[in-house]
Amino acid sequence: MASLRVAVVAGEASGDQLGVALIEALRVRRPDIEFRGVAGPKMRSAGCQPLATAEELAVMGLVEVLEHLPRLWWLRRRLVRELAAWQPDVFVGIDAPSFNLGLAQRLKQRGIRTVQYVSPQVWAWRQQRVRHMADSCDRVLCLLPFEPAFYAEHALPAEFVGHPLADQIPLQPQRAMARATLGLAADARVLAVLPGSRRGEVQRLGPAFIAAARALAASHPGLQVLAPMASPGVRAEFERQGARTAGLRLLDGQARLALQAADVALVASGTATLEALLCGCPLVAAYRFGTLTSVLLRQLRSADLKYFSLPNLLADEPLVPEFFQQQVTGAALAGALGGLLDDEARTSALRQRFAAIHQQLRCDGAARAADAILRLVDVEARLD
């Protein structure tokens, strides 16, 4: 039997994490498998032959993407050419929908089966996009349980496979272990500050996050503040903004450890809010788009969101405080964090809700994704 060929394109760190788990799960089922595409360091270590690096796709925001469009268009054209020549059995786009759906459409037109792993948030932003997804995708693999019902309304095959992060993080919080590892006292009061994984996010959120940490430390003597940095570039930007002089302890990576150790966390909206939930850490979520992106979104009326943080979206209720755009100020964030830190009954109830959501998402996501991909390949191969 010829080896199975899987083309895979992942953007940034979260896509790399999903990608390596998927590669490992597919290899358990088909040891003869070959991988090629756009890969982060973990995927490359797992044997994915890189045609480009995941870091090249780590761009977000309507306006922020514009300056990178020529480079991204050139990269997509090159990938279409090289992957079409390789003739994979299936293409898997991991997140990065703005890039991957266009790539998938071109590959599908060349007879290659295509999968989008991680649903774009079409249920919240510009729902009309779902009409075009059928031209790009044979399947959508969803990480969140409410997403397949949306696709069913539009006759696009989709299935919930669970979230791999929920499998990786223990159901029982590892607070004592995390504090011991980080050299924190068992009875210390600890705040974790996660200002984002991209430098642009940190530029927009960092000053308010630092001001909030400084204000909370002033009102809560002895508070320990941990700030895990996603990359050297993020660390340099946060230091430039005054993180060290504000008394924050910067960590290289170790976000999960910091969240496990913390009593509360201040988190840039995104996957990190889900990671905080899975670590059992009460949190405040915040986000800011660039000014022009925000204006365009309002003009296009493209957002239809009750909530923007994953804990609130999953619960369909305001479990955790959220702050967006002009609401993101040091004083507002510090007030919300203090409200959590000083209300033990509230944080205890939050941890119970977080545990229930964790259990719902914990269903061996990488294995289920691998099985769904192989079912698609095998069914289509029989039809051929």
Tell me the domain boundaries of the chain.
Answer: 5-162+363-383, 168-361
Angle, in degrees to the nearest 10, between helices 199-219 and 330-341:
60
Asked if the domains at 5-162+363-383 and 168-361 fall in one CATH topology, the answer is yes
> Is the Cα dihedral 256, 316, 364, 230 positive or negative?
negative
In this structure, which long-range contacts are made by residues 303-309, counting pairs with CB atoms below 8 Å and at least 24 apart in sequence?
303/124, 303/125, 304/124, 304/125, 304/127, 305/124, 305/125, 308/269, 309/269, 309/273, 309/285
Choose which CATH entry (3.40.50.2300, 3.40.50.1000, 3.40.50.1100, 3.40.50.2000) describes domain 168-361.
Answer: 3.40.50.2000
Residue corresponding to tokens 């020549």: 85
> Any idea which residue has 């109830």 for tokens?
349
pTM value is 0.80
DSSP string, 272-317: HHHHHHHTT--EEEEE---HHHHHHHHHHT-B--S--SHHHHHHTS
Q: In what order do the strands lie in the sheet with 5-10?
A: 49-53, 34-39, 5-10, 90-94, 113-117, 139-142, 158-160
Question: Which residue has 């060290």 as its token pair?
Answer: 244
Span 5-162+363-383 CATH architecture = 3-Layer(aba) Sandwich (3.40)
pLDDT at residue 374, as a whole number: 97
Sequence-ordered list of residues with C-beta below 8 angstroms from that of 143, at least 6 positions apart, any chain:
118, 119, 160, 161, 162, 163, 164, 361, 365
Phi, psi of 319 (to 5 degrees): -65, -45
Write the DSSP symbol of residue 48. P
**What are the pLDDT digits (tens) for 231-244?**
899 999 999 999 98
Which positions of the chain have pLDDT values less than 70?
A: 1-2, 58-68, 122-128, 290-305, 379-384
Q: What is the pLDDT of residue 299?
A: 42
**Confidence at residue 251, expressed as pLDDT on a 0 to 100 scale:** 97
- Tokens standing for residue 344: 């033990």
In sequence order, what are the residues at sequence separation of 6 or more whose Cβ sits closer than 8 angstroms to the Cβ of residue 314? Answer: 144, 145, 146, 274, 277, 357, 360, 361
Alpha-carbon span 173 to 263, nearest angstrom: 12
pLDDT of residue 62: 42
CA-to-CA distance for 317 and 309, rounded, in angstroms? Answer: 11
Q: Is the distance from CB of 118 to CB of 164 less than 8 angstroms?
A: no
Starting from the edge strand earliest in sequence, which strands make up the sheet with 249-252, in order? 249-252, 224-229, 190-194, 264-268, 283-287, 322-324
* CB 380, CB 112: distance < 8 Å: no
